[in-house]
Amino acid sequence: MLLYQFQVVYKIYCILIPKFCFLCGFDAEEDLVGSLASMSSNEMIKSFRRFGNALSEFFQQLRPWHKSLKIIGAEFGTSVLSYFVFLKWLLNFNIFSFLINFGFITIPQFLAAEPNNLSFTGLELLTGAGYFQQTVLYYGFYTNATISKVENGPSYNMQLAYIFTVGIYFVICFLILLFSMARFFSSNFRLTKAFSVNASKLLCTWDFNITNEEAVKLQQKNLLTQIKVQTTGGTQLMCASHSVGDLVVHTNLCSGLFHYRQSAMLVLPVIVSLLNTLVPFLFSWLGHLEKFQSPGQHIYVTIVRNIILKISIVGILCYYWLNIVATSESQCWETLVGQDIYRLVLVDFIFCLLGSFFGEFLRRIIGTTVCVSLGLPEFDIGRNVLDLIYAQTLTWIGILFSPLLPGIQMIAFLIVFFVKKVSLMRNCQPPREVWRTAQMTTSFIFLLFCPSFLGVLSLFFHTLRLKPSEECGPFRGLPSMYAAVDEWIQMLERYTVSKWVVWIYHNLIASELFFFIISTAVLILTYLYWQIIQARKTMIKLLHNQIINAGQDKKFLLQKLQREQRAKRRSSSALGGRGQQVSLTAHLLLFNCLGQVHGAPPAVQTACCFGKRLSLRFNLNSCYLTPDSKRMQCESSLIICSRLEFSLDIEKPLPSPDIIYGYETSRKHS
């Protein structure tokens, strides 16, 4: 049954690879084969590197919208750019899902399709019902048979294909999201809390992307305002308590939604989208009324409220679908749910476009003609990104019930990108408030993973255990969708070749003991890593203190050196006549600000006695400190002919501007 799939994939592979080589300008395979035969290993490595470079060039050519992104970044900065980059990234999930669903589920279905007897009226595009009900768009149309074109040839089990395609897609999404989140988290969050506000504002936040003169002036003005506010010590009042107000709003919304579920088809999606669009405005208006400690807090609170709103809406809808529609006695509940989701996605898309029209275009007209004090609107990054996450969540929920939904969402995202870009360029001004791009992007990816994707995953597993409808879909007649996999495993048990698959299934996937062991191991590892993090934090504090101490030692030594030099210049006592021997020990203290110097003690290079003056020359060229000791002493005893007046010349090694040395002398008369 899987053989058919493998054949298809293999054929595609064979067709694509030569095209790929052609496209990336990598000269014909014949060259490669011929030259491989007579090559030294060096050249092999070079040709592999060239192949790698050609591959990366090929993928870079596929990079769409490079110019658009550059223009957006140039005019509005990195913060607004992050929304469009996020949109582009989400598009990839939909493209991937559409391709594999179309390839593995829809194309075989075309071969075994039943004729569609319904008529097409234009209204179907909006409601998703009617003609579309009997097309590949919905779960209900798919057959539960094993498709085979040729008698006794390879057959294609639709049930397994359906469940495995969707399942493997979710697993791959899970891995991609997990790794992206980990990567962003590790590069954007730091262990130590100390965040030097002023220093980073001055040296790290200037956005080099911006090349538009007006935007640059605006950015400079923003920085000026921030510094002025800080130096004059602006204070803000504490925020009022918002939690009670939030709860009231949310419970009202939830109960309202429950009442509307029985109404006509399009009313539910319209109401949901209206809620999604209008309530955030209510929240930001509330936010303006309340006083916050900082503008950043205002943004955070508004975003959290929007998140809670969207989670409540999606939660209620899912509860309704899975507990009420699924257990009702309707004919094909999966198709009904699919249609609901289709309508929701479509109306959400229309409202997004309308929101852009009203929110930005009309607001600009109002801001420039009627009420000039309002000014141009700003692009609300938080609300738009949350809309994207909501749309993607709906798509993920709908994949099981409507396999081609990602294709529709893909087209929607493309149109949204274009519309938002045009609206942004024409209507908006660059953002005035500080938007911590890296942290916000990490938070959004985390939001995409944690409530959104994990919620969808748990929904998926719950749906697998529901009873599918009797008359339609690939799982008709089975007690649950998951039963298809059980049946397949039982069938595999009959063949000895595939006994290992059965073993893996029984002992690893379906066994609770295995998951218990894995969970315990993961928890232990997590605890170990947590302890390592704590130890590293302590280490960082110790090293930080060490650096500060080193700096203070350096200052102390410099001052001591200066004092000694002044004292020596003032005092000059003669010792005696000739023949007096004085041994002079010079302790040389070598010091570096980080204590990183290491090596051997300096040797005395020359010592000359000019009658009254002794000159000692230490050669520091091969001199370093050991890592443990910050000071190093070297002694040199010399016999002085007569007078005490001496000078100490120390030849500095080049370039170490921060090796500082001081000396102490002790005299012994003999």
**Residue 315 binding another protein, by CB under 8 A:** no
Cα 511 from chain centroid (whole Å): 34
Closest contact distance (angstroms) between CB of 189 and another protein is: 7
Closest contact distance (angstroms) between CB of 560 and another protein is: 16
CA dihedral 81, 82, 83, 87 (to 10 degrees): 110
Of 40, 60, 496, 670, the residue at the interface with another protein (CB under 8 A) is 60
Of 183, 536, 544, 563, the residue at the interface with another protein (CB under 8 A) is 544
Closest contact distance (angstroms) between CB of 601 and another protein is: 24
Of 593, 603, 604, 648, the residue at the interface with another protein (CB under 8 A) is 593
**Residue 382 binding another protein, by CB under 8 A:** no
How far apart are the C-alpha atoms of 374 and 605, rounded to whole Å? Answer: 77
Nearer to another protein, 60 or 241 (CB): 60
**Residue 521 binding another protein, by CB under 8 A:** no
Nearer to another protein, 203 or 497 (CB): 203
Amino acid at residue number 638: L
The CA distances from residue 439 to 206, 381, 434, 632, in Å, are 17, 13, 12, 46
DSSP E strand boundaries for 382-481: none
Number of residues that bind another protein (CB under 8 A): 64
Closest contact distance (angstroms) between CB of 195 and another protein is: 6
Count of alpha carbons within 13 Å of 486, Cβ hemisphere only?
Answer: 10
Quick note: the x/- pattern for another protein over 78-117, rule CB under 8 A, is x---x-----------------------------------
Closest CA relative to residue 217, chosen from 383, 470, 424, 432: 432
Of 438, 509, 523, 600, the residue at the interface with another protein (CB under 8 A) is 438
**Residue 199 binding another protein, by CB under 8 A:** yes
Closest contact distance (angstroms) between CB of 156 and another protein is: 39
Beta-carbon count within 10 A of 522 CB? 10
Q: Which stretch binds another protein (CB under 8 A): 144-152, 314-322, 541-549, 578-586?
A: 541-549
Amino acid at residue number 239: C
**Residue 583 binding another protein, by CB under 8 A:** no
How far apart are the C-alpha atoms of 158 and 361, rounded to whole Å? Answer: 49
Closest contact distance (angstroms) between CB of 381 and another protein is: 14
Measure CA of the first residue to CA of the last residue in the chain; give whole Å. Answer: 104
Nearer to another protein, 88 or 250 (CB): 88
Closest contact distance (angstroms) between CB of 666 and another protein is: 30
**Residue 439 binding another protein, by CB under 8 A:** yes
Closest contact distance (angstroms) between CB of 437 and another protein is: 6
Closest contact distance (angstroms) between CB of 211 and another protein is: 5
Nearer to another protein, 24 or 483 (CB): 24
Three-state SS for 156?
Answer: strand
With 0-12 CB in 10 A as exposed, 13-18 as middle and 19+ as buried, what is 191?
Answer: exposed
Three-state SS for 427?
Answer: helix
Closest CA relative to residue 2, chosen from 165, 143, 141: 165
Q: Which stretch binds another protein (CB under 8 A): 174-182, 183-191, 245-253, 455-463?
A: 183-191
Quick note: the x/- pattern for another protein over 638-667, rule CB under 8 A, is -------------------xx---------
Cα 41 from chain centroid (whole Å): 39
Nearer to another protein, 230 or 507 (CB): 230
**Residue 70 binding another protein, by CB under 8 A:** yes
Closest contact distance (angstroms) between CB of 193 and another protein is: 9
Count of alpha carbons within 13 Å of 450, Cβ hemisphere only?
Answer: 9
Per-residue three-class SS string for 190-242: CCCCCCCHHHHHHHCCCCCCCCCHHHHHHHHHHHHHHHHHHHCCCCCCCCCCC
How far apart are the C-alpha atoms of 570 and 554, rounded to whole Å? Answer: 25
Closest CA relative to residue 568, chosen from 560, 576, 578, 580: 560
Of 3, 17, 18, 25, the residue at the interface with another protein (CB under 8 A) is 25
Closest contact distance (angstroms) between CB of 77 and another protein is: 8
Beta-carbon count within 10 A of 581 CB? 14
**DSSP designation for 133:** G
**DSSP designation for 657:** T
Of 146, 148, 209, 480, the residue at the interface with another protein (CB under 8 A) is 209
**Residue 203 binding another protein, by CB under 8 A:** yes
Of 116, 146, 148, 212, the residue at the interface with another protein (CB under 8 A) is 212
**Residue 172 binding another protein, by CB under 8 A:** no
**Residue 42 binding another protein, by CB under 8 A:** no
Q: Which stretch binds another protein (CB under 8 A): 112-120, 208-216, 305-313, 425-433?
A: 208-216
Of 38, 115, 122, 195, the residue at the interface with another protein (CB under 8 A) is 195
Closest CA relative to residue 90, chosen from 354, 553, 449: 449
**What's the length of the chain?**
670
Quick note: the x/- pattern for another protein over 339-368, rule CB under 8 A, is ------------------------------
Closest CA relative to residue 117, chosen from 131, 102, 101: 131
Of 268, 389, 410, 550, the residue at the interface with another protein (CB under 8 A) is 550
**Residue 252 binding another protein, by CB under 8 A:** no
**Residue 182 binding another protein, by CB under 8 A:** no
| DSSP assignment of 613-650 | EEEEEEE-TTB---SS-S------EEEE-S---EEEEE
Beta-carbon count within 10 A of 154 CB? 15
How far apart are the C-alpha atoms of 30 and 511, rounded to whole Å? Answer: 52
Of 15, 415, 548, 600, the residue at the interface with another protein (CB under 8 A) is 548
CB 668 within 8 A of CB 583: yes
Nearer to another protein, 110 or 208 (CB): 208
Quick one: tokens of 638? 């010399």
Helices (H) and strands (E) in the chain, counts: 22, 8
Nearer to another protein, 58 or 102 (CB): 58
Quick one: tokens of 290? 């309340």
The CA distances from residue 656 to 117, 603, 623, 626, in Å, are 87, 18, 11, 16
CB 379 within 8 A of CB 424: yes
Closest contact distance (angstroms) between CB of 191 and another protein is: 10
Of 15, 27, 278, 668, the residue at the interface with another protein (CB under 8 A) is 27
Of 40, 42, 117, 231, the residue at the interface with another protein (CB under 8 A) is 231
Q: Which stretch binds another protein (CB under 8 A): 13-21, 460-468, 531-539, 550-558?
A: 550-558
Which residues of the shown chain bind another protein in the complex (CB under 8 A)? 25, 27, 46, 49-50, 53, 56-57, 60-61, 69-70, 73-74, 78, 82, 187-190, 192, 194-200, 202-213, 216-217, 220, 223-224, 227-228, 231, 436-439, 544, 547-548, 550-552, 554-555, 593-594, 657-658
